[in-house]
A and B are shown apart, each in its own frame.
Chain A
Amino acid sequence: MAKKWGQLVRNWMADKMDLPQDVMMDLPRITMIGQIHIYIENHRGLIAFSDKEVRLLLKQGQLLIKGKSFVIKTILPEEILLEGRIDQVIYINEESGGKK
């Protein structure tokens, strides 16, 4: 309950005070350059990595990126730069989808 309240307060603050949502609420910030680059901040770790699929852990849920010939250019504790041909970016929520 307390956690929910905190969440609510933060949401309200971000809304009213014009602060960026990703900072306030620990959401991932994703920057894509066409199909060739994707830059994700605020992730929580690598779950799976192959040249066709990358799965990242987020604070809430997971992020699934599908495409071709992936190379992780750089990886830092909270940031990742991925190169290749990106076809899909999918959010997977634990509540609804569960694990695939």
Chain B
Amino acid sequence: MKNEWMENFYGKVTVRVAGKGIERFLNLLVRNGVHVQNVKRHGTETATFTLRVREALRIRPFARQSECSVEFLRRSGAPFVINRMLKNSGFIIGGLMFVFIVFFLSNSIWGIEIKGAKPATEYQIRKELDKMGVKIGRTQFSIANVEGIQRQLTNRIEALTWVGVELKGTTFHLQVVEKKQPKKTEQLSPRNLVAKKKATIVHMFVEKGKQMVNVYDHVVPGQLLVSGLIGKEGATKRVAAQGEILGETWYKSYVEMPLNTSFKVFNGKEEQKHYLRIGSTDIPLWGFGKLKLRKYETEENQRDIYLLKWKLPFSYVNKTFREKEEITRQYTKDEAIKKASEIALRDIKTRIDEDAKIKEEKILHRVFENGKVKLSIHFQIIENIAKGQPIPKETSE
């Protein structure tokens, strides 16, 4: 009984025997190691039974010996099924091709719609998309994901404030918000110029208005530098004071710099694994075996698969493992001081205007403590200290 599956696997042949010595014939077969099964008697001189395909040709001599005639009736089992399948393989291939083509087409890009952009910007966006590989007819597998496209577009095209990229089925919808670059409006309302911060004035250039302070004067925040009220007393006129008042200001920066620092860096070694995700289980497709990396970070990239407009319950996941390494950076004292002052300079530059000049830097204080260098640096900076302040109407008359 348990052998029936094996018989199916090897392929069976049903045989009809006719003659007088059927029993003798069966005994002969059995003694010669033929696997005879399902022997049924039909009348007095005929019987049917099944045996394996490869044994089918061996039974002729035994039949002659026992004066029986054999006739092969039917073939069944795996080899014949496979044969039939091969013969009809066209249908199967066609079916597979159909599914594959539908699958492929529903994962291609069939349209890119851009909304809210001027023609010029739209052209630019299309060009950038082309460069990224987002084109009609491409598969969605080969391109970056939606967030990536969004980020790259905003980075590459200046005129965009924001672009929303959305993938609906096979069409990309881009919602664009353009930057409105404002025109410089001439400020025409009457105003004074006052000091922004504590400074010593080093240079003055007044275009309009009455100068109220002189070079080398020390000013405090809010102090009037250029007055917008001009003319003689009693007949004053309000104008918008304009000018550039450069003052020397002072900044202090305090920097701490450890001599030994340890960093975590990627050392470039990485491994990739590919999975098929069904629900929450991952079935590895490629990349087996244990990771050779010791410390690593994992980056996961999931791609949903669509058939027509439906999202299939499985998705393709690509995991990248990047090896991390700890690196210790060591500075000598001189190097640490140099680095620290560089940091201080960078720090200062973020605090002052772009057109400000650094006149001088002076290290006020320097301590080595607990493996750290502590610096306090004093900067002298020349910058525009003027700030507009509108003149209230009451005081004008």
Contact = CB atoms under 8 A, between A and B. Distances in A.
Nearest to A44: B27
Nearest to A48: B23
A6 B40 CA distance: 40
A46 B26 contact: yes
Contacts of A67: none
A43 to B, nearest CB: 10
A45 interface: yes
Contact of A73 (B23, B38, B47): B38
B66 to A, nearest CB: 12
A31 interface: no
Contact of A75 (B1, B36, B44): B36
Interface residues of A, number: 16
Interface string A39-64: 00000011111110000000000000
A95 to B, nearest CB: 24
Contacts of B49: 72
B21 to A, nearest CB: 11
Given A47-B23, A49-B22, A49-B47, A71 B38 contact: yes
Contacts of A77: 30-31
B389 interface: no
Which secondary structure dominates where chain A touches chain B?
strand
A74 B41 contact: no
A70 B37 CA distance: 13
Nearest to A52: B41
A72 B38 CA distance: 5
Nearest to B22: A49
B39 interface: yes
Given A73-B1, A74-B3, A81-B1, A49 B27 contact: no
A76 interface: yes
A75 B41 contact: no
A51 B1 contact: no
A71 B44 contact: no
A18 B47 CA distance: 43
Contact of B27 (A46, A71, A74): A46
A58 to B, nearest CB: 14
A50 B40 CA distance: 8
A49 B31 contact: no
Contacts of A73: 1, 37-38
A76 B41 contact: no
A77 B26 CA distance: 10
A74 to B, nearest CB: 5
Contacts of A45: 27
A81 B39 CA distance: 10
10 contacts: A45-B27, A46-B23, A46-B26, A70-B41, A72-B39, A72-B40, A73-B1, A73-B37, A74-B3, A75-B37
Given A71-B38, A74-B37, A81-B1, 16 more contacts: A46-B27, A47-B23, A49-B22, A49-B26, A49-B39, A49-B41, A49-B47, A50-B41, A50-B44, A70-B41, A71-B40, A72-B38, A74-B1, A74-B36, A75-B30, A75-B37
Interface of B: 1, 3, 22-23, 26-27, 30-31, 35-41, 44, 47, 49
Top 6 closest pairs, chain A to chain B, by CB? A72-B39, A51-B41, A45-B27, A46-B23, A50-B41, A75-B36
